[in-house]
Chain A
Amino acid sequence: MIINDLLNHTSEWLRSTGPNSDIVMSSRIRLARNLDKLPFPHWASKKQSENALQMIEGVCSRVDFLKSSTVFKLADLDNVDKQFLVERHLMSPDFAQKSDNRAVIIDNEEILSIMINEEDHIRMQVMQSGFNLFEAWNIINKIDDYLAKELNFAFLADWGYLTACPTNTGTGMRGSVMLHLPALVMTTQINRVLAAISKLSFTTRGLYGEGTKATGNFFQVSNQVSLGHGENDIIENINSLIKQIIEQETQARQTMLSRERAVLEDRISRSLGILKSAHIITSQETIELLSMVRLGSDLGIIKDLDRCTINELFITTQPAHLQKLENNKLSSSERDVKRAELIRNKLTKQ
């Protein structure tokens, strides 16, 4: 696989096939692992980082499960390529900042990605469509077992997997669920929900993880605690919280439908109207309008548009995706024109 092959491919997690796909965009489990004795990436010499990269890459190439994956060395990618992978959620924004001895392994379905020499030697993640953390855990647990057969991980019986930052020590696991909560935002209940989440020692982040703002009514909820609970326990805890949020969003949607149907229909239809007819549009406006259209599709107000197409547009209208599609560097204002064109084509074709 070369990086351009991804352009015409729909990431598995965008297909909207998983449970509760109306409210939950995707579920993700990530594990942090480090090689025993070898300094963590930020503290390692060039030679040591090279060693870590070679060892991990070597083992990954022998794992049957990873036969249909590709290794991308960051040093071989230009800035647009790196940004492209960030937009597809295949690597973190921080990881894209430096290139030395860094690589990311991605499977053809874009379910799995393994970042080598990020904050920890190994940061692997599995993404699933909809509300499906346990399935993500089952997959990543197996991959972790394969890798642990050949690699010695830094581990202590009482403290678990040892990570560069003590906030990840223990299971080294973070489960995240990406929620689309337009009705809770519109009915101004969202702050109350977010406050409750943080009290329960979970965190909320934006579309692109750590340090990003919530846009398009998307919120990523994940566990903060990784020590003192087993993996299944942590997932159960996230699940029961997410179930409650789903219930509240569903209720808010129903309330809006019964009390303010005309207002809601108007807002959704206008959003679709702008997307179908605009000739210049920023990515921020796109995300906000697509959020309304997604809600309209969930509620049956918009009938001839499937959710997978809408999900894809959130990603393909991002700056690096537009530049890859055009095979050319584009200025911000050129992108706004191309973005509008892409959206018009997609939505009128339907």
Chain B
Amino acid sequence: MLCNICNKNKATVHLTEIIDDQMKELHLCEECARHKSAAMESQFGLSDLLAGMAQSGKPSTDKEVTLARCPNCGLTFADFKKIGRLGCGDCYSAFRKYLVPLLKRIHGSSQHLGKSPQKVTRVMKKKIDIHDLRVKLQRAVEQEAFEEAAKLRDAIKELEKKQSQENQA
């Protein structure tokens, strides 16, 4: 049998490759096999270890993972695989679904329970306040307590106005 790649030398190495769930048999000569194995090694270097852990969950297509790119800093998931470091804070949102299993593996959890910056705490608290008021408003409308509902509506508007002003500042 001749080598599948060069079609010149006798095939002495027999490989089974699985790409996208498709099994493919390859029969190669020694030289072509060496090239092929070097290419494979460069694909799966040590730095892949971290990122590789991320893919142990549900199998996503390789292309989708590699092409994912952070809109803020331009780092691709393939870059992350190579260097083991993310590019900016926004990468965490851009690669969220690949990072969840990774964070769980490293930390045994993917839920932050520590402190948060005061600014963020205030914003989060306001969001919760507005949410509470909306629930109350809904209830007031259902009970046809329109006077109460009007007050709640004004309070929500006021809070939202403040929040957008603060965001602009």
Contact = CB atoms under 8 A, between A and B. Distances in A.
Nearest to A33: B117
A165 B117 contact: no
A169 B115 contact: no
Contact of B89 (A36, A149, A228): A36
Residue from B99, B111, B117 whose CB has the most chain A CB atoms within 10 Å: B117
A155 B50 CA distance: 22
Given A162-B92, A166-B50, A166-B103, A39 B112 contact: no
Contact of A152 (B50, B107, B119): B119
Contacts of A230: 113-115
Interface residues of B, number: 33
A39 to B, nearest CB: 5
A166 B83 contact: no
Interface in B51-105: 72-73, 75, 83-90, 92-93, 99, 102-103
Contacts of B86: 40, 162, 164-166
Contacts of B92: 154, 156, 159, 162, 169
Nearest to A201: B108
A227 interface: yes
A154 B87 CA distance: 12
A145 interface: yes
Contact of A173 (B84, B110, B114, B120): B114
Nearest to B106: A167
A162 B89 contact: yes
A95 interface: no
Contact of A227 (B83, B107, B115): B107
B110 A159 contact: yes
A40 B107 contact: no
A204 B22 CA distance: 45
A180 B35 CA distance: 51
B23 interface: no
Contacts of B84: 165
Given A166-B99, A166-B102, A158 B108 contact: no
Nearest to A119: B85
Interface string B107-142: 111111111111110001000000000000000000
Contacts of A34: 88-89
B118 A43 contact: no
Contacts of B110: 158-159, 227-228
Given A37-B88, A201-B108, A227-B103, 5 more contacts: A43-B73, A159-B103, A162-B86, A166-B50, A228-B108
18 contacts: A37-B89, A42-B85, A119-B85, A154-B90, A154-B92, A155-B120, A159-B92, A165-B86, A166-B99, A166-B102, A167-B106, A171-B112, A225-B107, A225-B108, A228-B107, A228-B108, A230-B115, A231-B114
